[in-house]
Amino acid sequence: MDISKERVMILNMIAEGRITAEEGEQLFRALDDSISKDALSDEELPDLPPDPVATPLPPVPPVHIVHHVAPVPPIPPMPPQHRQGSSSLAAALREAGIDRLTLSDVQEMQIHNITPEFIREILSLGIHPANLSEWLDLRIQNVTPHYVRELREMGIKDLSTEDLVELSNHNISARFVAEMRNLGFQDMSTDDLIELGNHGISPKFVAEMRDLGFHDMSIDDLVELGDHGISPKFVAEMRDLGFEDLSIDDLVELGDHGISPKFVAEMRNLGFKDMSIDDLVELGNHDISPKFVAEMRNLGFEDMSIDDLVELSNHDVTPRFVREIREAGLENPSTDDLIELSNNDIAPRFVREVRQALGGQVSVEQIIEYHHQDIDPQLLQELRAGGVVIE
């Protein structure tokens, strides 16, 4: 069966008014079905009878040499032929409202295989791309007449060219729609389908989340989970860590703040055994990592609470800041001292210069006061060298 000729015959019947567009669509559908059914293996050849015993051939007579051969007359030139394909394509383009092309347009049409059959089948489905660019988009995203008919059979109708391109671009197939409907999502709009595809939500994802107890998820819930990287594996690992009753909102909050099962396990290894969802969100919100906690502990801050960690991070007290303050001469600052120094924008260099100016005997409160009064440490050193007592 020549499928291309069959399609052209159907299109001609529609154009001549012998059948309606709907009847033509039914014929196209039947033709598509026949293609899949006819994809059978070649029939086996019947067994051939055995070759008879060859009889000896008679001797070959001697060959006589011909010395003169008549010249072969030249082949007459073939008359020029017009390519029927190009004229048919031109007619199809005019039917689509396209009568002017650039050389670049022609090249793109060749690359993406814009054929008369494709144009006429799409038009017969009631789809009218506005320009050549939209026709090319259909081809680039592999939107075929068969794809359109399958979606229509699933009730996805009245689709624009842009809708079809978006659906195909996000791998939304008739099978995807059918499987989602079997999971209870009966009233999905085109926008819903595109959002699901855009966030990597598959029927398998939905089924696995339901197996974990999330039975009443909406399209918005699914999109939120996908947007924040929450997978069934994430949920299962968090449950293994003791977080049994996580809601959709809890999961989204954890994902939004970069809290992973690995993060929870590492924080527990550092002694934070009883963290709540709110604690985890606070830690994530202030960029407190297990590495931060470990470095602070190595600096001697062993008994920090989650509130302490949040305060330190909130005032930009880093392990590096602590080391530099100690190198400036404050050997055992408390967390409150460090927060006050950082909160008042006091750099380790200023601490060092004030201590040198006053002979090393200076408190954190004095350092902060000198900074507020904009006292120059060099002036203090000169006054003290001149015998002036600074009170």
Same domain membership, residue 367 and residue 278:
no
DSSP states of 98-128 as a string? -----HHHHHHHHHTT--HHHHHHHHHTT--
Tokens of 251: 């999961």
Same domain membership, residue 200 and residue 181:
yes
Same domain membership, residue 268 and residue 135:
no
CA–CA dist 273, 359 (Å, integer): 45
Q: How many CB atoms lie within 10 A of CB 46?
A: 6
Same domain membership, residue 127 and residue 24:
yes
Same domain membership, residue 152 and residue 199:
no
pTM listed for this prediction: 0.69
- Greatest mean pLDDT among 41-50, 301-310, 368-377: 301-310
Question: Mean pLDDT score of the chain, rounded to an integer?
Answer: 85
Does 95 fall in a domain?
yes
The domain boundary, picked from 283, 298, 314, lies at 314
For residue 293, give its domain range: 230-314
- Model confidence pLDDT, tens digit, residues 77-124: 434 444 445 569 999 999 999 999 999 999 999 999 999 999 999 999
Same domain membership, residue 386 and residue 254:
no
CA–CA dist 272, 309 (Å, integer): 12
pLDDT-based confidence at 65, cuts 50/70/90?
very low
- Closest of 138, 139, 149 to residue 35, by C-alpha: 149
Same domain membership, residue 223 and residue 243:
no
Same domain membership, residue 279 and residue 236:
yes
- Model confidence pLDDT, tens digit, residues 263-292: 999 999 999 999 999 999 999 999 999 999
List Cβ neighbours of 288 (8 Å cut-off, separation of 6 or more).
309, 310, 313
Same domain membership, residue 270 and residue 140:
no
pLDDT-based confidence at 358, cuts 50/70/90?
confident
**Look-up of token digits 């031109």:** 90
What 3-state DSSP class applies to 172? Answer: coil
CA–CA dist 93, 53 (Å, integer): 64
Please state the domain count of the chain.
Answer: 4
Please state the rounded mean pLDDT for residues 339-357: 91
- Model confidence pLDDT, tens digit, residues 363-378: 899 889 888 988 887 8
Same domain membership, residue 102 and residue 23:
yes
Same domain membership, residue 180 and residue 124:
no
User: 70 or 6, which is more confident?
Assistant: 6
Please state the rounded mean pLDDT for residues 200-224: 96
For residue 202, which phi and psi values (nearest 5 degrees)? -110, 160
